[in-house]
Structure 1
Amino acid sequence: MGRAEEVVSMLPQHRDVIVVGASAGGVEALRTLIAGVPGDLAAAIAVVLHMPAGGTSALPQILRRFGNLPTVTASNGAPLRPGTVYVARPDHHLVLIDDEVALSHGPTENGHRPAINALFRSAALSLGPRVIGVLLSGVLDDGVAGLVAIKAQGGLVVVQDPADALYPGMPENAIRNVAADYVLPAAEIGPLLGTLTKENSVEPASSPSSLLRLENEIARDQRTSTDYQANGVGVSSGLTCPDCQGVLSELTSADGRYRCRVGHAWSVEALLEAQGGVFERALWTALRSLDEKRNLAERMCRDARQRGNERLVERYQQMADEARQAAGVLRAHLTGLPASPEPTGDG
């Protein structure tokens, strides 16, 4: 680095990039936040809201109607312009590379694409102390690891007050795991951002960890099949990925997070939730199989009776009764309703 570049790098910088993440209840929180942002904001805003992979998002139109800033759907390679809001596209990670927007189809994180962590990590790695990270209403803990990265790289962390959030899970997890600089209702965050972006950033960025660089490359779809153990940042967990059933590595320099070789990422809470969903789907599959077994056994019982074979009638009726009883217990567990006796078959 030359003397002139060194002097420039030491000059105070404005915090001119704001990254915002939200999930359940996030539309209301985002609408309130954006409505309070001043029209002369000297910073770009990038927004990720968890959304289904298919279809389109009306979020840009919603925020445009309630806010004072131009709001656009993020497009690959677009420059980050102060006073503009960039909204993630469905089924694409929104990441920042220096002062540009980038889209990727990298592996899901906590079952989401776009994922909040992917945006937050990329901003922390590329822009360091210029970044303000904002986490709003939602369940579980997507975005928390990203806030940790933003804080480590000299950025500021703002969290919606859980008492103000429709779904307080994400804000509560953030407050437990990150030393948030501000915890405020959504209505107060917009004006705060106007103030913070006028201040100089004085905290230098620390050297990014190898894990931060690696995870950012995965989100950008540059490393889609990574051996975390070989890279020294993971150990085999003995658990499987709910998305692809691959073996999960536990990331050794992170707090309770996992990655599979494909790159799917999971926090402990999201993994537990997803495994619960896998288990429930398996139970429903088992219930369907028991109902089909009962129906088939009853059909065979009727056929055996018509042929006058009482030995087979007894055998098939017993199989039908056993399947009926097992299905009743399983159905009661899945629905939360008491098992009701069903009439026995024709036998």
Structure 2
Amino acid sequence: MDVPDKALVIGASTGGLEALRPIVRELPARTSAAIFIVLHVGSHKSDLPRLLSHRSQLPAVHPRSGEPVEAGRIYVAPPDHHMIVDSGRIVLTRGPRENRARPAIDPLFRSAARAYGESAIGVILTGALNDGTAGLFEIKARGGTTVVQDPRDALCADMPQSALTHVEIDHIAPASSLGALLADLLTRQPVTSRPIPSPEEQEMTTEFKLARPRAMTCPDCGGALSQSQAGQLTRFTCHIGHAYTAEVMLAAQFVVMEQFIETALRALNERAALCHFMGQKADDKQQCRWLAAHDEALSRTAVLKQLLESEWLQPSAQACEADS
């Protein structure tokens, strides 16, 4: 088994398959690097390893948790599992979602930064919002190489544009040119001693955990949130481990708010139906009260309908349609 001295980590979301195909086609058949890919597939079945193997000279697989990392292989995060590198082995976990995704890009990038230091190459491809930016920031902070797909070439420019905004990027190129660029980087990327993580970093970042809370609450579980910074990028993490950038949390909060409004709308409709039913059965003295309550409930649904149908201000750039 060839132990890799470099790691190439690639993250993508909306439009990622189309961007990955020309990249893997150019990767060399013999390399001392291991390649790791996260595509936002959620819990849906993924044929990505088979599709990439047809295009690449390197075998692509969904790894097993605990297997040793080998050079010259493409490891694809399996559905509904984060994939990280720890002590020369691949760890798969169903820990808390980050940026509403599992698998997410940030956990892989953070682990690669800590395991490979200057010998890590991080690549952000097309995708909505900004998963991967914080992880790419850590790769750069530890001396690794940062690469993004040209936002003008991306089906969805959010992720590469966020990386450009928040991280010092070494290389920008369209997907059609990234394969040759990465093949060249793999031949000249410096090999350095592996950095030893601090005690705080030895904590598994994708496991459920406890942490000091803040005033805001997690859109997924309702737990309190703590705040951290990756350069100018603000991140929020709840005390069991769900993590968001501010932009992703804004979108998640809107979904939760919409669900609550829809619940209230349903309750008002049911109240109106009940009052109408009882009004039809009531005597003349009571009927007017039931029917008045019916009319009141219907009139108040108008406010909720307006909230649901109105456009809301989006402080960040317009995001592409969320992945299914």
Find the residue that maps to 2:216 and give its secondary structure.
Answer: strand
Once the two structures are superposed, the pairs formed by residues 1-347 of structure 1 within 5 Å of their partners are 16-53=6-43, 55-201=44-190, 212-214=201-203, 217-219=204-206, 221=207, 224-227=208-211, 229=212, 236-251=213-228, 255-304=233-282, 309-335=283-309
Find the residue that maps to 1:242 and give its secondary structure.
Answer: coil
% same residue = 40
Aligned partner of 2:205: which letter? I
Deviation at 1:81, TM superposition (A): 2.0
Deviation at 1:52, TM superposition (A): 2.1
Deviation at 1:100, TM superposition (A): 2.1
Deviation at 1:77, TM superposition (A): 2.1
- The total of aligned residue pairs comes to 307
* Contact persistence 2:27–2:56 (CA under 8 A): yes
1:8-67 deviations in whole A, cap 9, x for unaligned? xxxxxx9621011111111211123212323334321111111222x4211111111222
* Contact persistence 1:154–1:205 (CA under 8 A): no
The structure 1 segments of at least 4 consecutive aligned residues displaced by more than 6 Å after TM superposition are 202-207
* Contact persistence 2:8–2:121 (CA under 8 A): yes
* Contact persistence 2:63–2:90 (CA under 8 A): yes
Deviation at 1:327, TM superposition (A): 1.9
Say which one has the larger Rg.
1
Deviation at 1:201, TM superposition (A): 1.1
What is the distance in 2 between the residues matched to 1:16 and 1:134? 14
What is the distance in 1 between the residues matched to 2:20 and 2:230? 32
What is the distance in 1 between the residues matched to 2:17 and 2:96? 24
Find the residue that maps to 2:136 and give its secondary structure.
Answer: helix
| Runs (5+) with no aligned partner, structure 1 | 1-13, 230-235, 338-347
What is the distance in 1 between the residues matched to 2:41 and 2:230? 29
Change (3 A) 1:335 1:277: same
Find the residue that maps to 1:325 and give its secondary structure.
Answer: helix
| Runs (5+) with no aligned partner, structure 2 | 312-324
* Contact persistence 2:115–2:194 (CA under 8 A): no
* Contact persistence 2:35–2:75 (CA under 8 A): yes
Aligned partner of 2:101: which letter? H
Change (3 A) 1:65 1:116: same
What is the distance in 2 between the residues matched to 1:317 and 1:68? 73
Q: When the two structures are superposed, what TM-score results if normalisation uses the length of structure 1?
A: 0.82
Choose 328-337 or 143-152, whichever is displaced more.
328-337
Q: CA RMSD in A?
A: 2.2
